[in-house]
Structure 1
Amino acid sequence: MNTERTLIRGATVITMDAQGDLPVADILVTGDRITEIAPGLVVDGAQVVDASGCIAIPGLVNAHMHTWQTALRGVAANWTLLQYFQHMHAGLATVFTPDDLHIATLVGALNQLNGGTTTLVDWCHNNPTPAHSDAAVAALLQSGIRAAFFHGTPKPDPRPGETPFWERPHPRAEVERLVQAHAGQALLSIHAAVLGPHYSTLEVALHDFRMAQELGIIASLHQGGGPARTPDGWERLEAAGLLGEHINIVHGHALSDAQLARFCALGMSFSAAAENEMTQGHGHPLTGRLRALGRAPSLGVDLESVLGGDMLSQARIALGMQRSLDNVAHREAHGSIPATSTITTREALAWVTVEGARMLGQLHRIGTLASGKQADLVLLRADMLNMQPVHDPVSTVVMQTTLANIDSVMVAGRWRKREGRLLEAGVPALLARLAQSGHKITQALGLPTTAH
């Protein structure tokens, strides 16, 4: 048992928990857990970290990202969702080897750590063989990030005489293999990225949802992007008793108000990717519709082939977008600017901490800073030009923070970034491998690129 102690001294602490915000306090970490948060702790034999001038926050949770696309950064930046389906899933994805998946996932996960994300939901749906899945999982473990690997399935155009992907049940044996192989891993959980009724036949949806229920794992699915393949699928799934807290809907724009209310009542979770949803043509994020029902989304980057991987930017964009929608609605209804903002910055910070942990069923372990929880935390330098003066620490975190302020990142009591430097050896060599992979993939399909 790891009993090494670290005393983080003198930070402004935003716990996002019952203890609230502490203007100046210390955080004692013993092994992989937080054991005390209070001002002026006296501890013998602990490594002391001077955090004066810093704001401490819970580690961020990226609740939805296709990490396998890291080597294709910027390639899809000008594509709509329809172009993305055509060029990515039916094109570029088909030439990935396990090595391509490994380097993309490793660098993608390290980038998340560098930006303050301590938990990554890796929604891997380009894994045609077990070797592809194993390569991605190995990369997550190598990175040191807390990860939830969501085993998905590829989506190529069907060849003549071939069963199309939307008629193929999720490979249960492969999910079971991964669950058994990685049982007991402290920083890794295994779940299923299924097609769902929007993208599959009813038979497939029933199989996949029943599989997740029987295995006791989360089933996450995309909802939106054109007409549903099974228009009455949700009603049939609910009638079969297959909906509940273990079901996660990503995007969700095609859901009616009645469906959304029903799913909230059933305890299902929702993950938005606000920036990418607006970019690729999904529609407005679900944020406001969920808030009206007393719920909140978790947030994800979604696609680094389209945009950057910074989760605080995702919080800021989702906040600004929903405030804009609320302001326009108020002006149309009342002819004036609303007297107050509808959403606070604290809510936005919760989307990338508390709600991400809730989506994974791990709020008892991560998502806030509290005694007994896993020591997943971030120290932000608040004494820099872009942060001073700090009047409201939460607002400073959400609205002012950039990558330059991400000083230190801890996962399960271990520093993964310290004093502005990622503690990973050989990053230049990894980037060279990533560039080589990206060049090979784009050249295989004749895609113009100036990558080097």
Structure 2
Amino acid sequence: MSAILLAGATVITVASHRPRDERVDILVVDGTIAEIGRDITAPATTEVVDLTGRIIAPGLVNAHLHTWQAALRFAGADWTLPEYLARMHGEVAHRYTPDDMRIGTASGATAQIDAGVTTIGDWCHNCLTHDHAVAAIEGLVESGIRAVFLHGTPHGVRDRPHDIAMFDRLMSGPIAAGPLLTGGLAIKGPQLSSATTAVADMTAARDRGVVVTMHQSNGIPGDAWDVVDRHRLWGPRVNIVHGTQIPTPLVRRLLDRGVTFTSTPENELGQGHRSDIVAEVVAAGGSPSLGTDGDMFVSGDVRIAARMALSRQRATEHEDARRDTGMIAHSTPTGTADALRWATIEGARALGLADTVGTVEVGKRADLVVIDATGVSMWPHHDPVAAALHAHSGAVEAVLVEGRWRKRDHALVGVDVADLQAQAWRSGSRLIDLVRADGLHRRVRRRVVQKVVNRRFSGPRET
């Protein structure tokens, strides 16, 4: 038996039945939260860790992330969505080797741990072959993060059903072998595939009892969405990412069916997706989850996503008040505790893990982040929840996943950082040369791909 007593910290459980923050200790036994309280009697062999001046919160959940692109960090920081689709998916993605997939995934997932994230929804839509998918899963295992590996396929033929045979092989093989891994389907969905294909893919997910997730942006839902509805396929294990331009009545119906929504506000605003779904979901009485989308564009810090989503939601509330009264709101109903929920338990819910992680509660797995609140940028603080939300990655002192230290004393544990960075540099340098290549053949191909992409963004959406 292994036991750790985390003592002296201010604890934010995010559990609805507990205080906003409290001074309690946490006993972790064999990776599970065994007790929360004061004057805990721990086993004699317990490791006691004094965390006075620290804040403990649930490990953050990044519900939508493409880790496989991490070796190209910030290469697309100025790209719009059409540019990203043309450059990354049209030119570079098919040139990835399995080892590129492993390296990018390991690098991206490790960076998430360093920032205080313990669970990710890894939207891996470049599984060119079975070997590419296996390599990506190996990268997740190397990092030590908890992950839902969301098996996706490259952009391509609209009416090609998801490769369920490959997914089944992964589920019975490397995913089953990873104690911190679960599997799900990242499908094109009714926006980017035909109704027949969307129904087949969503039925496959339902039959296997796994999460199914899809993009929805830059297009109003068409008839294919109604076909999915007639097959009764909208439900709690369905997740919609971005969710822009979905009519309000449909948002409400989907929420009523238990569908979850994930917003990636920083890249949504910057790339042109729009970012309306948070306000739509909140107005309907629901709660969104959050992601960062890709290290190619933004920092990958889900706290930034949470703060941006909160500010945008408050702006909506002020505009609503100004429209109704001529004045900004006297107070806003959405607060920092809501934003922290979006980045923890709501992300866990979107990934089908709400019973396992996302809050600090007895019986849940010990996925925790320890924030050093004694530094000059954090002290003094007068609201621990706001401090946790506004902390920067450098303030993350420690991270536990399944009760195991993955970061401690501000340093990653069990990771050869220099070697990982060297691998990422080699992989990224080769791939970035493809992005920046400017020969005649490359320029002609780039114009053709860009025209194909642009055609997708003009005129009515096909269903």
| Structure 2 length-normalised TM | 0.91
- The equivalent residue for 1:148 is 148
Contact 2:73 2:297 survives alignment (8 Å): yes
CA distance in 2, matches of 1:141, 1:286: 32
Report whether the alignment pairs 1:12 with 2:18.
Answer: no
Segments of structure 1 that go 5 or more residues without pairing to the other structure are 156-163
Compute the displacement of 1:92 (Å): 1.6
Compute the displacement of 1:447 (Å): 4.3
- The equivalent residue for 1:119 is 119
Contact 1:245 1:268 survives alignment (8 Å): yes
- The equivalent residue for 1:326 is 317
Structure 1's 236 and 225: CA in aligned 2 closer, same or farther, altered over 3 A? same
Structure with the higher helix share, 1 or 2: 2
Structure 1's 409 and 333: CA in aligned 2 closer, same or farther, altered over 3 A? same
CA distance in 1, matches of 2:434, 2:240: 33
> In structure 2, the residue corresponding to 1:90 is in which secondary structure?
helix
CA distance in 2, matches of 1:447, 1:68: 21
Structure 1's 95 and 184: CA in aligned 2 closer, same or farther, altered over 3 A? closer
CA distance in 2, matches of 1:208, 1:260: 21
- The equivalent residue for 1:90 is 90
Q: How does 1:48-447 map to 2 (within 5 A)?
A: 48-155=48-155, 164-181=156-173, 182-183=175-176, 185-226=178-219, 231-399=222-390, 401-447=391-437
Which residue identity does 2:66 align to in structure 1?
H
Q: Runs of 4 or more off by more than 3 Å in structure 1?
A: 445-448
CA distance in 2, matches of 1:226, 1:242: 21
Compute the displacement of 1:254 (Å): 2.3
Which residue identity does 1:6 align to in structure 2?
I
- The equivalent residue for 1:41 is 40
> Share of identical aligned residues, percent?
39
> Which sits farther off after the overlay, 403-412 or 180-189?
180-189
CA distance in 1, matches of 2:350, 2:234: 14
CA distance in 1, matches of 2:164, 2:145: 26
Compute the displacement of 1:41 (Å): 1.9
Contact 1:55 1:382 survives alignment (8 Å): yes
Measured against aligned partners, the alpha-carbon deviations of 1:254-311 in whole angstroms (never above 9, x if no partner) come to 2111111110111111111011110101112311111111101100010110000111
Structure 1's 295 and 101: CA in aligned 2 closer, same or farther, altered over 3 A? same
Which residue identity does 2:83 align to in structure 1?
Q
Measured against aligned partners, the alpha-carbon deviations of 1:2-27 in whole angstroms (never above 9, x if no partner) come to x2000111000111112334532211
Contact 1:63 1:356 survives alignment (8 Å): yes
Compute the displacement of 1:227 (Å): 6.1
CA distance in 2, matches of 1:287, 1:81: 20
Compute the displacement of 1:66 (Å): 0.7
Measured against aligned partners, the alpha-carbon deviations of 1:75-131 in whole angstroms (never above 9, x if no partner) come to 111111111111111112121111111100001000000000000110000111001
Compute the displacement of 1:379 (Å): 0.6
Contact 1:76 1:305 survives alignment (8 Å): yes
CA distance in 2, matches of 1:315, 1:99: 32
Segments of structure 2 that go 5 or more residues without pairing to the other structure are 439-463
Which residue identity does 1:206 align to in structure 2?
V
Which residue identity does 2:159 align to in structure 1?
E
Compute the displacement of 1:56 (Å): 0.4
> Which sits farther off after the overlay, 73-82 or 52-61?
73-82
> Which sits farther off after the overlay, 86-95 or 109-118?
86-95
CA distance in 1, matches of 2:317, 2:22: 32
Contact 2:306 2:340 survives alignment (8 Å): yes
> In structure 1, the residue corresponding to 2:110 is in which secondary structure?
helix
Structure 1's 269 and 409: CA in aligned 2 closer, same or farther, altered over 3 A? same
> In structure 2, the residue corresponding to 1:371 is in which secondary structure?
coil
Measured against aligned partners, the alpha-carbon deviations of 1:213-241 in whole angstroms (never above 9, x if no partner) come to 1111111000112466xx20111011012
Measured against aligned partners, the alpha-carbon deviations of 1:41-64 in whole angstroms (never above 9, x if no partner) come to 232320011100100000100000
CA distance in 2, matches of 1:266, 1:119: 25
CA distance in 2, matches of 1:23, 1:202: 50
CA distance in 2, matches of 1:355, 1:171: 29
Which residue identity does 2:142 align to in structure 1?
Q
Contact 1:150 1:192 survives alignment (8 Å): yes
CA distance in 2, matches of 1:22, 1:317: 23
Measured against aligned partners, the alpha-carbon deviations of 1:111-166 in whole angstroms (never above 9, x if no partner) come to 000000000110000111001000000110111100100000101xxxxxxxx521
Q: CA RMSD in A?
A: 1.4
| Structure 1 length-normalised TM | 0.94
Compute the displacement of 1:338 (Å): 0.9
Measured against aligned partners, the alpha-carbon deviations of 1:191-216 in whole angstroms (never above 9, x if no partner) come to 10000010011221111011111111
* Number of residues of Structure 1 aligned to a counterpart in Structure 2: 435
Contact 2:267 2:298 survives alignment (8 Å): yes
Structure 1's 338 and 398: CA in aligned 2 closer, same or farther, altered over 3 A? same
Contact 2:88 2:435 survives alignment (8 Å): no
- The equivalent residue for 1:160 is none
